[in-house]
Amino acid sequence: MPELPEVETTVRSLRKKVLGRTFIDCWIGAPKIVKKPKNIKQFKREIKNKKIQKLWRRGKNVLIQLSGEKTLLIHQKISGHLLFGKWKKKQNSWHAPAGPLADRINDFIRVIFIFKDGQMLALSDLRKFAKIELWGTDELLDSPSFKKLGPEPLEKEFNLSRFKRILEGKKGKVKQVLMNQEVITGIGNIYSDEILFRARIHPLRKVNSLKPEELKRIYLAIKVILKKAIEMKGDSFSDYRIPSGEKGGFQEKTRVYQREGEECFNCKALIKRIKVGGRSAHFCPRCQK
């Protein structure tokens, strides 16, 4: 699933391409992806002739603010990723020109937003788990699901003192707590593994067992890992691609994620994988305590 660095990379890329453009139509090949409104004709009618005024991110959500006080919320879920370019429809499928967009992982086009100049914004999603919602902007900002999201870990206000306050009283395993979107938003499986490895903390450690110095190491690792991943345009180990259709590069820099049975870069011990709350956790049994 795209996490904070992948979603931030998507938003930064799309800002350069779609700001100021106007929707004239929308093709929807997987109606279940559109969750709000569920009536597809109504959805198309409400976005037609709307101009993109702002693009931003909240947690793992791409937010496209439109004229008419409307906002598109797109959550890419497990295998979804947004692409920008032009496609041609042949029979029942869409085809991209030669180049990165023609990568097979980009072939699962489920939704296409069409702009006045013929350019397109497409959602490719192998598993069809992504969701698209059209909200009134004020309604979205005031919605319970939006308001309960935790703080953004790369904001200036997210300092060490606030991080410690957020974790105060938490009793769960540190990996699960880091992935809880109501505690801190944007961190998922990939980056919780990498953060804890850099901080030298075992993923099964209980949060209330962590010493102040250990909390500081986790806090600093959050900042370093997420910034580095954005710089590398995200992790494309699996389905994620940037809007040009190209891969990100962070998968070349991972130290534990998906490296079970390989040697630790620091101590040569073999990386292990365990289950934590139904999710995989990769760690070095020697470096992480």
The superfamily (CATH) of domain 4-147 is MutM-like, N-terminal (3.20.190.10)
120 pLDDT above the threshold of 90: yes
Q: In the chain, which residues fall in CATH 1.10.8.50?
A: 160-283
Measure the CA–CA gap between 167 and 148, rounded to whole angstroms.
16
Residue ranges, comma separated, of all CATH 3.20.190.10 domains in the chain are 4-147
pLDDT tier, 91 (very low <50, low <70, confident <90, very high otherwise): confident
Among 48, 232, 259, residue whose Cα is nearest residue 134: 48
Mean pLDDT of 250-257: 97
User: Smallest Cα–Cα separation from 43: which of 148, 131, 144?
Assistant: 131
- Least confident interval from 94-98, 172-176, 216-220: 94-98
**How would residue 207 be classed by pLDDT, with cut points 50, 70 and 90?**
very high
CATH number of 160-283: 1.10.8.50
| Interval 104-120 mean pLDDT | 96
pLDDT at 111 over 90: yes
Whose structure tokens read 């180990």? 237
> Pick from 185, 197, 209: which is nearest to 281 by CA?
197
pTM of the predicted model, to two decimals?
0.96
Q: Which residues are catalytic?
A: 2-3, 60, 279
Share of the chain above pLDDT 90, in %: 97
* For range 195-215, the mean pLDDT: 98
Q: What is the pLDDT of residue 92?
A: 82
